[in-house]
Chain A
Amino acid sequence: MIHPLDKYLRLDRIPHLWCSGCGNGIILSALLRAIDELANEGVLDPRKVVLIAGIGCAGRIAFYINFDTAHVLHGRAIPFAMGVKLANPSAKVIVYGGDGDLAGIGGNHLIHAARRNLDITVLMVNNFVYALTGGQVAPTTPKGVYTTTTPRGNPENPVNVAQLVTACRPNYVARASVTHPILLKNHIKKALMKEGFSFIEIISLCPEVFGRHIGFKSAPELYERLRKIIKVRNFPKSLDEIVFDWEREITIGEFIDENKPGFIRSILGVSRET
């Protein structure tokens, strides 16, 4: 135990196998800092945290965190998490996955969990590509960009996930970025303490796969490129103000913060009526 966050890590698996400069490491650090602060404030018991991870680079977080974790099927972390939460409503359930896992194959489950206002926190790591399998196009890949499956440039329009989830009107939606780690930690703290569905899309760094494929030679170069387009805007008046454009702007900030009853309250209320 040297680093102050070491107590939250499975130290026999550190150093982790994420690449040099990987955004997942930055996000893991912010997540653990958020949990540590909430634990010190006395509002969260780390032993009640259950983290469900999907498949992909992001999914490997399940190896490293020293809480109850599960490494489940591609795109199915959210339904698995729903099962855990329904069975044990006192657990603090977090879903952690990539953009391909949560917005691609798992997109349907994301939409339904959001509109149900399911009481989980979903952290979606957005690195614009399918990194673990070598750099194929993802639902969030910017148009025109080279990937291994779009070698002549991506012909598709990317999906603006935070905007999509905002339209489902759950209790909390935010977008964060690894370039703004304190804001990221604060969003996570808020998301973890909210009833109902909380979602944070986290713009992340993938210097080895995404960065390398589009011509960035190092993590700081990609970081600098991200910093140029990240703009903070909280509680926009319309969905159009939540921008997701690799050339122009990626809007980060809190987009919804409401307090409608969560799914667990609705379903247990209904069950108790009988």
Chain B
Amino acid sequence: MRVEFITGNIAIAEGAITAGLKLFAGYPISPSSEILEHLSMELPKHGGIVVQTEDELAAINVIVGASWAGLKAMTATSGPGLSLMAEGIGLAVMTEAPIVIVDVMRAGPSTGVATKVGQGDVMQARWLSHGSYELVVLAPWNAQECFDLMIKAFNISERLRIPVIVLTDAVIGHTREKVIVKEPHEVKIISRKRPKNPEDYRKPFKVENDLVPPMTFLGEGYGILVESLTHDERGYYRPNTATHAMLVKRLVEKVRRHKNFIADSAVYFGDDVDILFIAFGSTARSVYDLVHDLRRKGIKACLFRPKTLWPLDTSKLILLGRKARKVFVVENNTGQLVYEVERILKTDNVISIPLISLEAPSSNEIWEVVREWL
């Protein structure tokens, strides 16, 4: 391992390299372009390929194709680019292709402010594509976590054969911090399951006990069919309710069943809780300061910081939420994560603190709003 002083974007790139990334296809978009640029210089040194595609639509489809041909593949973009990848995410879900998508959020909607922070993609990251499906969204809050959670993102995508989205933002992406960069042999790396029996190579969607099929690759010559229509275990189109319902339910269940392997969070001052703050990403950095300030003033404030936004670490959240008198969900949008918190806690003490700010809101700015509620 080595110590580097790098931005969140570069840490994302380095985390991907350690995790075994071998193909990056992307399109330049502020504030994520440094990931593409850094990898275009570094990834070939590790035997990988970087290609800048003609648009985001091509990028997402290139990485699904590369994943199906056997490589660990990823792309990086921002809000508007992610919107363009909607259909491609559906393809990854339906064909169970392991891919990682990094969304360095910026102020939206639409073109918004390309170089400034926003947190408005919480819902988009989860629900962007059509149809019924489940995927995983991770939310680092500093450069070190950008590195570490990228490895976790690849591991989850490979283990469950799903697309995983890593949600950072313009502040995290461009803030330079100390990062301990680990080498591949120093971390746990998971790769997609392969068939055990020779006859299973022709069934790219054969269900096993953990609901995740082993993967045969395109180009290995087993004559497989990778199918975006609803299909059976051989990939044959089967438009009947029995097959379709079974497939769709399995795509959802395979994520839900592995929640313990996925969900993660950090809790600060969780022992005695009067006021619970919930925040993620760059906003959480300011709330962290605020909680420390409040503790010094004798207020029993606690911060629950989700590292996985979808699914949230519900058991820990419920434990804290039940103890708190008031729960403040602080986010740099008009209120998105708060709906998930309300749904999970089912109490009436959840208060949305939506702060639109082009810079990460300071702890004072947050306190000015929160104290009105106390």
Smallest CB–CB gap between A82 and chain B, Å? Answer: 5
**Counting CB contacts under 8 A, is B45 at the interface?**
yes
**Counting CB contacts under 8 A, is A152 at the interface?**
no
A45 to chain B: which residues have CB within 8 Å? 221
B181 to chain A: which residues have CB within 8 Å? none
The reply to whether A52 and B65 contact each other, CB–CB distance below 8 Å, is: yes
The reply to whether B229 and A82 contact each other, CB–CB distance below 8 Å, is: no
Known A86-B66, A87-B71; judge A72-B221 contact (CB<8 A): no
The stretch from A60-68, A142-150, A169-177, A196-204 touching chain B is A60-68
B366 to chain A: which residues have CB within 8 Å? none
A32 to B63: give the CA distance in the assembly, Å: 29
The B-contacting residues of A in range 221-274, CB under 8 angstroms, are 267-268, 270-272, 274
Bitwise, A67-79 to B at CB < 8 A (1) or not (0) is 1111111001011
The B-contacting residues of A in range 48-104, CB under 8 angstroms, are 48, 50, 52, 62-63, 66-73, 76, 78-84, 86-88, 90-91
A138 to B58: give the CA distance in the assembly, Å: 22
With both beta carbons as reference points, the residue of chain A lying nearest to B58 in the complex is identified as: A79
**Counting CB contacts under 8 A, is B312 at the interface?**
no
B45 to chain A: which residues have CB within 8 Å? 274
**Counting CB contacts under 8 A, is B88 at the interface?**
yes
The reply to whether B61 and A83 contact each other, CB–CB distance below 8 Å, is: yes
Smallest CB–CB gap between B99 and chain A, Å? Answer: 10
The A-contacting residues of B in range 53-78, CB under 8 angstroms, are 53-55, 57-59, 61-71, 73
**Counting CB contacts under 8 A, is A109 at the interface?**
yes
The reply to whether A87 and B236 contact each other, CB–CB distance below 8 Å, is: no
The A-contacting residues of B in range 221-237, CB under 8 angstroms, are 221-229, 236-237
**Counting CB contacts under 8 A, is A13 at the interface?**
yes
A47 to B223: give the CA distance in the assembly, Å: 8
**Counting CB contacts under 8 A, is B220 at the interface?**
yes
The reply to whether A88 and B219 contact each other, CB–CB distance below 8 Å, is: yes
The reply to whether B218 and A50 contact each other, CB–CB distance below 8 Å, is: yes
The reply to whether A63 and B237 contact each other, CB–CB distance below 8 Å, is: yes
The reply to whether A271 and B62 contact each other, CB–CB distance below 8 Å, is: no
A88 to B67: give the CA distance in the assembly, Å: 10
Q: What total of chain A residues lie within 8 Å of the partner, measured CB to CB?
A: 39
Smallest CB–CB gap between A12 and chain B, Å? Answer: 8
The reply to whether B224 and A63 contact each other, CB–CB distance below 8 Å, is: no
A67 to chain B: which residues have CB within 8 Å? 223
**Counting CB contacts under 8 A, is B49 at the interface?**
yes
Q: CB < 8 Å: which of B54, B55, B64, B228 contacts A83?
A: B64
**Counting CB contacts under 8 A, is A218 at the interface?**
no
The reply to whether A84 and B227 contact each other, CB–CB distance below 8 Å, is: no
The reply to whether B23 and A80 contact each other, CB–CB distance below 8 Å, is: no
The reply to whether B65 and A82 contact each other, CB–CB distance below 8 Å, is: yes
With both beta carbons as reference points, the residue of chain B lying nearest to A268 in the complex is identified as: B49
Q: CB < 8 Å: which of B25, B54, B64, B73 contacts A108?
A: B54
**Counting CB contacts under 8 A, is B350 at the interface?**
no
Known A80-B65, A83-B73, A112-B58; judge A70-B226 contact (CB<8 A): yes
A67 to B223: give the CA distance in the assembly, Å: 4
With both beta carbons as reference points, the residue of chain B lying nearest to A83 in the complex is identified as: B65
Q: CB < 8 Å: which of A13, A47, A76 contacts B88?
A: A76
A45 to B87: give the CA distance in the assembly, Å: 33
The reply to whether B218 and A86 contact each other, CB–CB distance below 8 Å, is: no
With both beta carbons as reference points, the residue of chain B lying nearest to A105 in the complex is identified as: B57
**Counting CB contacts under 8 A, is B109 at the interface?**
no
The A-contacting residues of B in range 204-258, CB under 8 angstroms, are 217-229, 236-237
A73 to B84: give the CA distance in the assembly, Å: 13
Q: CB < 8 Å: which of A71, A86, A267, A268 contacts B226?
A: A71
The reply to whether A82 and B62 contact each other, CB–CB distance below 8 Å, is: yes
B44 to chain A: which residues have CB within 8 Å? 270-272, 274
With both beta carbons as reference points, the residue of chain B lying nearest to A108 in the complex is identified as: B54
The reply to whether A83 and B225 contact each other, CB–CB distance below 8 Å, is: no
The reply to whether B49 and A86 contact each other, CB–CB distance below 8 Å, is: yes
Smallest CB–CB gap between A262 and chain B, Å? Answer: 14
Known A68-B220, A83-B65, A88-B70; judge A109-B54 contact (CB<8 A): yes
The reply to whether A86 and B225 contact each other, CB–CB distance below 8 Å, is: no
A267 to B220: give the CA distance in the assembly, Å: 23
Smallest CB–CB gap between A78 and chain B, Å? Answer: 8
A270 to B66: give the CA distance in the assembly, Å: 19
Smallest CB–CB gap between A214 and chain B, Å? Answer: 30
The reply to whether A63 and B236 contact each other, CB–CB distance below 8 Å, is: yes
B62 to chain A: which residues have CB within 8 Å? 79-80, 82-83, 86
With both beta carbons as reference points, the residue of chain B lying nearest to A64 in the complex is identified as: B225
B58 to chain A: which residues have CB within 8 Å? 76, 78-79, 82, 108-109, 112
**Counting CB contacts under 8 A, is B113 at the interface?**
no
16 contacts between A and B (CB under 8 A): A13-B236, A48-B219, A52-B65, A70-B65, A70-B68, A70-B225, A72-B64, A72-B228, A76-B58, A79-B62, A83-B61, A83-B63, A83-B66, A84-B219, A86-B49, A271-B49
Binding site for A on B (CB under 8 A): 22-23, 25, 41, 44-45, 49, 51, 53-55, 57-59, 61-71, 73, 87-88, 91, 95, 217-229, 236-237
Task: List 5 extra interface pairs beyond A50-B69, A68-B218, A76-B58, CB under 8 A.
Answer: A13-B236, A63-B237, A68-B219, A86-B23, A112-B53
What are the 3 closest A-B residue pairs judged by CB atoms, nearest first? A83-B65, A47-B221, A87-B69
Binding site for B on A (CB under 8 A): 10, 13, 45, 47-48, 50, 52, 62-63, 66-73, 76, 78-84, 86-88, 90-91, 108-109, 112, 267-268, 270-272, 274
